[in-house]
Chain A
Amino acid sequence: MVFVDSYPKTSKLVRSEFLVAFVALGIGALFGVVQALHRTGVFRGFVSSADYYTILTGHGVLLALVFTTFFIAGLFTWAVANSLERELPQRIAWSAFWIMLTGTVLAAVSIIGGLVGAPSILGHDLKADVLFTFYAPMKAHPAFYIGAALIIVGSWVAGLAYFKSLWEWRSENPDERIPLQTFMVLTTMLMWYVSTIGVAVEVVAFLIPWSLGLIQNVDPLLTRTLFWYFGHPVVYFWLMPAYLVWYTILPKLAGGRLFSDPLARVVFVAFLLLSTPVGFHHQYTDPGIPSGYKFIAMTNTMFLLLPSLLTAFTVVASVEHGARQRGAKGYLSWLRNLPWGKPAFAGCMLAGLMFAAGGFSGMINAGMNINYLIHNTIWVPGHFHLTVGTAFALTAMAISYWLVPQITGKKLRQRSIATLQPYVWFVGMAVMSNAMHRAGLAGIPRRTAEPTYDEFAFEGVAGTVGEMRIQIAIGGFLLFVGAAMFLIVMADTLLARRGGTLSVNSNIPEPLSGADHSPRILDNYKLWTAIALLLIVIAYGPPLASMVADGLFAPGSPPIPV
């Protein structure tokens, strides 16, 4: 039976979550192409260079926070219902949805307010030109921070719905191993609970009172540290759902079976342990943090390569298994024997390939000394457009081609556009991201509307700056086209009539190595969460204590701009 008929209530929830995600994707992509054309100087007529930062904030918040969180909520809702074979607790799950939606509207309206002259609402200018990383002392309208806080709180409540499902399932199946998809969802949510404490404290204890005028000053270093306590794990919150897709669905799409269930569990546990005590690697140039603690963050970050390398092996081996089951022979020629014409498969594979490249630039970012080479240059956006912008986003779009028919009961429409779409995204991102990396090596800064200076000329190692600009603009435009193609397919599919025979099949075959062969301790959430917290105390305790020791709000900074 199709998912929509087995779990009609949960299907409706997933559809609502996806719909919000797709609208955010549309607006975010529009802001993205405006930026790409603006900062490269190809066309600057859409907005003034001052409003560029409003567009930049909108792009970051709508894509990295709203699109991701809503899509992940939808995917996780599906994964839990699918693997535990039950409807989710509706009241909790729907409250989560409405809390997150309220937060999204508040944040989005505050950002858009900056484009319409920042009207004064409740005594504060309605704007939020503070970028996705919303550092103090840049200040936004209180509604922006309240909205961001509600999105986070809503995601916590959504996590509660997943846990409640597990507890219900556990009472009926006391001795079984937690199904793999649910295991991945809950491990991710535990990581998310641990890591969002930082941003919650930052926003609720400091930024909201400060933006309301209840406190005059905040300590920028303390709030930045709290932000990055959350700011790096959030990338794993984006990545782990992509891994869930790659581990549990991609092998089936390739025609094979997952290589090893226990290996997948080890990978997710490693992320729970190591995702959070690494945030200082975003603050290598910040004064006031002892180098030794930056070094600890670097070491932890490098250890995080391990689960990703394990994933590279396991996922590729599972796909190879699929190719062999399709009758492929030879050392590498099996790569030809895969369903490259199926958009769900092709999208996930291209996303994984891009992530391999993103992994390399991530290693450079994480190196404590080599980081100075590219710190705050456009290399960094080049890196995260490979990771969140492709490994996550392209996987999300690709798996929608497989998932949306199941949660709607409607056949995928516009198949030819869908088939082409992952390749358009891949080419666009390859062109844009490559040029961004090279431009970063030439020293071109990120977060800059007009990166040109009177008495200084950037010099590229290979190629000219003008050529890089053109590539960034072309790549950005292709990505916009790619997003539009995806949205057209989705809109047409969602508007179609239900019925008939779908082109997708939801059966997920058993892994080659099942969970039975793995130690039960892998499913011991209490133990892993305790170790994760301990590692955080070691990595963050003393530096945070020294920041707080001179006063919670000192050394303080008033808001900028005044």
Chain B
Amino acid sequence: MALSRRQFVGAAAGTAALAATGTATAQEEPDYGGWFDDVSNYDGTVDKRGQDTVTITVGAQGNNGAFAFDPAAVMVSPGTEVVWEWTGEGGGHNVVSDGDGPLDSGSAVSEAGTTYSHTFESEGMFKYVCIPHKALGMKGAVVVRPGSGSSGDGGSGGQQQQGPPENPDYGGWFDNVSNYDGTTVDRTDADSVEISVGAQGNNGAFAFDPPAVRVTPGTEVTWTWTGEGGGHNVVSDGDGPLDSGGAVSESGTTYSHTFEEMGVYKYACVPHESLGMKGAVVVGGPLGGSGGGSGGGSEQEGSGIELSGPQWLLSGSVLLAFFSPLLFAVAMRRRQNGRPPQMGEGGELQRATGPEPVEEAKETEPAVELGHDEYDPKGTAALVAFYFVLIGLLWVFMYFVEFLGRVSIIG
């Protein structure tokens, strides 16, 4: 009953401009059916078609530790040999198909440099997991599909190049960035754009401002240091082109880069990345107007919730129980309708004529009056003594038989 994952499909433009990370933003994203919902490092399918050999790292950073395949989802041409290479981190891993697939690297191993390879001949989608860490989200998929990858497959009709949509799916990149308000600042009108480094945000001067900006290809982006919040730098997430070097704190420092290719370029300040000092530059065509690329639009799958029969029963019962006070109140009202109006809330003044008189049951008199001095609780003493003996015996059983009898538990 989880919501379908929102999948943004790039505007219908050609695929020539791929993001620096190689994400197939403009390629139709395969439907993994929720397979990557709990995989933290999944960030779209990486298009590696046209290569003879593709390498996937096993034990890459992700899923709260070294519990990831990198890239998690990759698209290759038929006949490609895919090689999995172990980093040696995160304990023992393996590569095993989900269900009946062809992949099985055997039991989990942890040595760095271990490799496992498989050549995919037929088209299709091949999901796989690391069995020990499947629950943590260590899952991947290889999609085998003809085409030539990053050189583009000819586009779908020669419309004007548009690049990523107006609000690209950043894949959770901005989740902990306090000064990102969900919008990508549109600067496609400018030839050069400035971003301040060390702006206020993320509980201190730990922000890029604006955090997300859209520019046209050929724009020079300049980062300018405010001098606040200690040493910062600007480094691409993953394999991107940005790298301002080591962290510096001097006010007025600048770093610039000219973006030529369309795509989404994520970057962070390495010392403060965990605080949320992250940003992104989106390189694409100008927005607005009914540009050529409107054909595809951004398609969101329906967010309908599907319930099975018993689930309907359960939700129905919960709702019924939840609203029962309301139903109850209605029932109360209906019962009171037949009575004189002053009976409503029962104030003091209306009491004389109002509610029906109520009296309590008569107190039952004891058959024998037993005072303080005549009463000796000997039956109670017997019961309490019996209880002591019982729990004593049970304790002996628990300690000597159950506890000491199972030394394996305590070593």
- Given A360-B391, A373-B409, A501-B361, decide whether A34 and B331 contact each other with a Cβ distance below 8 A: no
- Give complex CA distance A195, B191 in Å: 63
- Give complex CA distance A364, B305 in Å: 46
Asked whether A505 lies within 8 Å of B321 as measured between CB atoms, the reply is no
The answer to the question of B395 belonging to the interface, with a C-beta cut-off of 8 Å to chain A, is yes
A5: nearest chain-B partner, CB-CB = B358
A335: nearest chain-B partner, CB-CB = B379
Interfacial chain A residues near B332, Cβ < 8 Å:
495
B358: nearest chain-A partner, CB-CB = A409
Asked whether B355 lies within 8 Å of A46 as measured between CB atoms, the reply is no
The answer to the question of A321 belonging to the interface, with a C-beta cut-off of 8 Å to chain B, is yes
Asked whether A34 lies within 8 Å of B328 as measured between CB atoms, the reply is no
The answer to the question of A290 belonging to the interface, with a C-beta cut-off of 8 Å to chain B, is no
- Give complex CA distance A342, B237 in Å: 72
CB distance from A253 to the nearest CB of B (A): 10
A322: nearest chain-B partner, CB-CB = B366
Report B144-191 residues with CB < 8 Å from chain A CB.
176, 178
Asked whether A505 lies within 8 Å of B176 as measured between CB atoms, the reply is no
- Give complex CA distance A105, B314 in Å: 19
The contact string, 1 if C-beta is below 8 Å from chain B, for chain A 373-392, is: 10000000000000000000
B343: nearest chain-A partner, CB-CB = A498
Asked whether A23 lies within 8 Å of B325 as measured between CB atoms, the reply is yes
Asked whether B358 lies within 8 Å of A47 as measured between CB atoms, the reply is no
Asked whether B310 lies within 8 Å of A45 as measured between CB atoms, the reply is yes
The contact string, 1 if C-beta is below 8 Å from chain A, for chain B 389-405, is: 00100110011001100
- Give complex CA distance A216, B359 in Å: 61
CB distance from B356 to the nearest CB of A (A): 3
The answer to the question of A86 belonging to the interface, with a C-beta cut-off of 8 Å to chain B, is no
Report B302-316 residues with CB < 8 Å from chain A CB.
303, 305, 308-311, 313-315
Asked whether A363 lies within 8 Å of B361 as measured between CB atoms, the reply is no
The contact string, 1 if C-beta is below 8 Å from chain A, for chain B 359-370, is: 111111011111
Asked whether A370 lies within 8 Å of B369 as measured between CB atoms, the reply is no
Interfacial chain B residues near A45, Cβ < 8 Å:
308-311
Asked whether A2 lies within 8 Å of B359 as measured between CB atoms, the reply is yes
- Give complex CA distance A331, B410 in Å: 45
The contact string, 1 if C-beta is below 8 Å from chain A, for chain B 366-382, is: 11111110010111101
The answer to the question of B348 belonging to the interface, with a C-beta cut-off of 8 Å to chain A, is yes
Interfacial chain B residues near A255, Cβ < 8 Å:
364, 366
Asked whether A117 lies within 8 Å of B305 as measured between CB atoms, the reply is yes
A27: nearest chain-B partner, CB-CB = B321
The answer to the question of B387 belonging to the interface, with a C-beta cut-off of 8 Å to chain A, is yes
- Give complex CA distance A215, B204 in Å: 12
- Give complex CA distance A38, B357 in Å: 50
A409: nearest chain-B partner, CB-CB = B358
Asked whether B377 lies within 8 Å of A320 as measured between CB atoms, the reply is yes
- Given A2-B358, A117-B3, decide whether A370 and B318 contact each other with a Cβ distance below 8 A: no
Asked whether A561 lies within 8 Å of B38 as measured between CB atoms, the reply is yes
CB distance from A506 to the nearest CB of B (A): 6
Asked whether B380 lies within 8 Å of A23 as measured between CB atoms, the reply is no
Asked whether A2 lies within 8 Å of B1 as measured between CB atoms, the reply is no
Asked whether A47 lies within 8 Å of B311 as measured between CB atoms, the reply is yes
Asked whether A562 lies within 8 Å of B40 as measured between CB atoms, the reply is yes
Interfacial chain A residues near B380, Cβ < 8 Å:
313, 316-317, 320
Asked whether B410 lies within 8 Å of A325 as measured between CB atoms, the reply is no
Asked whether B368 lies within 8 Å of A331 as measured between CB atoms, the reply is no
Q: Which of B315, B358, B402 contacts A441 (CB 8 A)?
A: B402
Asked whether B331 lies within 8 Å of A495 as measured between CB atoms, the reply is yes
- Give complex CA distance A48, B361 in Å: 51
- Give complex CA distance A331, B382 in Å: 8
Size category of the binding interface on chain B? 35 or more
Report A285-322 residues with CB < 8 Å from chain B CB.
309, 312-313, 316-317, 320-321
The answer to the question of A521 belonging to the interface, with a C-beta cut-off of 8 Å to chain B, is no
CB distance from A117 to the nearest CB of B (A): 4
The answer to the question of B251 belonging to the interface, with a C-beta cut-off of 8 Å to chain A, is no
CB distance from A301 to the nearest CB of B (A): 15
- Given A30-B317, A213-B176, decide whether A363 and B356 contact each other with a Cβ distance below 8 A: no
The answer to the question of A171 belonging to the interface, with a C-beta cut-off of 8 Å to chain B, is no
Asked whether B64 lies within 8 Å of A560 as measured between CB atoms, the reply is yes
The answer to the question of A324 belonging to the interface, with a C-beta cut-off of 8 Å to chain B, is yes
CB distance from A32 to the nearest CB of B (A): 12
Report A99-123 residues with CB < 8 Å from chain B CB.
108, 112, 115-119
Asked whether A325 lies within 8 Å of B321 as measured between CB atoms, the reply is no
CB distance from A155 to the nearest CB of B (A): 20
The contact string, 1 if C-beta is below 8 Å from chain B, for chain A 78-97, is: 00000000000000000000
- Given A325-B367, A373-B402, decide whether A502 and B360 contact each other with a Cβ distance below 8 A: yes
- Give complex CA distance A332, B381 in Å: 10
Interfacial chain A residues near B205, Cβ < 8 Å:
none
The answer to the question of A173 belonging to the interface, with a C-beta cut-off of 8 Å to chain B, is no
A120: nearest chain-B partner, CB-CB = B3
Interfacial chain B residues near A46, Cβ < 8 Å:
310-311, 313-314
Interfacial chain B residues near A367, Cβ < 8 Å:
399
Interchain Cβ contacts under 8 Å between A and B, 13 examples: A8-B347, A26-B321, A117-B303, A119-B3, A213-B176, A256-B366, A309-B384, A331-B382, A334-B379, A364-B395, A497-B356, A504-B361, A560-B64
- Other than A108-B322, A359-B391, give 18 A-B pairs with Cβ distance below 8 A: A19-B328, A46-B313, A117-B3, A213-B176, A214-B203, A317-B377, A323-B379, A326-B367, A369-B410, A370-B399, A372-B409, A409-B358, A491-B328, A495-B328, A505-B363, A505-B364, A562-B40, A562-B64
